[in-house]
Amino acid sequence: MREIVLDTETTGLDPAQGHRVVEIGCVELMNYIPTGSVYHALINPERDVPPEAEAIHGHSTAFLADKPKFAEIVDQFLEFVGDARIVIHNAGFDFGFLNAELERCERMLLPRERIVDTLALARRRHPGGPNRLDDLCVRYGIDNSRRTKHGALLDAELLAEVYAELVGGRQARLGLDQMQLASRAAKAAIARARPSPLPSRVSEEERAAHRGLLAKLGEAAIWNLYAGKKMDA
């Protein structure tokens, strides 16, 4: 099952007030496991970035001025997402901004049924507990020390790890790894038949010397019970 873990950074809190997306980060999952394929874009919002927004993600108006506009990256973004389910923390926020941007480009909007909200998952699993992304990283022992500011790709990578914990994907991966190791061990334990037997390394002189030793030991020698006939063959 293919899923896309997604995060955005914006100029503000409400697209209806003219705020825009300035960054998108996506991580591809296959059966809850990151594939290593990611999508990341910094975007010129075609408006100023308020100081309070810049303080959160660090992207200034001047920094974003030479970045592509959303209309210029929309095809790449939609191609990467494809028809996969989209995993978002506090999905209503990012979902609203993305559809506002898609509407400006006259593109088909993302349907709500494709969205998995990890905040809702976390609230069901940990009712009453703090369920911000940072809180969940602490709860599950995920290193978020690099998160000194919000960043769409970094947050998507962290959320992918959190999502694996929320749905049991990490345990599933551990079980799969153990099965693969067991399979490899079993294959290694199977002796491969040689196309022809190896030639004997025992010379005829050595065979004669061994027979002479057994003769001195007598018929009662224990060796005769195990190897005498074999060695004479």
Positive or negative torsion for Cα 143, 146, 147, 153: negative
Cα–Cα distances (Å) from 45 to 12, 21, 59, 103, in that order, read 11, 6, 11, 15
pLDDT of residue 22: 98
Domain count, the chain: 1
Whichever domain contains 87, its CATH number is 3.30.420.10
Q: Quick check: is 206 in a domain?
A: no
Q: Quick check: is 108 in a domain?
A: yes
> Both tokens of residue 231?
């060695």
CB-CB neighbours of 104 under 10 Å = 15
Q: How far does Cα 118 stand from its chain's mean position?
A: 16
Q: Looking at the whole model, is its pTM more than 0.75?
A: no
Across the strands, what pairs with 6? 26
Q: Quick check: is 79 in a domain?
A: yes
Only one residue has tokens 């005829």, namely 204
Q: Quick check: is 168 in a domain?
A: yes
> Both tokens of residue 222?
């224990």
Report the chain (233 residues): mean pLDDT per 10 consecutive residues.
97 97 98 96 98 96 98 98 97 97 97 97 94 95 86 96 87 52 54 66 83 77 61 45
Q: Quick check: is 228 in a domain?
A: no
Q: Quick check: is 44 in a domain?
A: yes
Range of the domain at 102: 2-178
pLDDT of residue 232: 45
Catalytic sites, residue numbers: 150
Q: Quick check: is 106 in a domain?
A: yes
- Phi first, then psi: give them for residue 192, nearest 5 degrees: -85, 125
Q: How far does Cα 204 stand from its chain's mean position?
A: 62
Question: In this structure, what DSSP letter does residue 50 have?
Answer: -
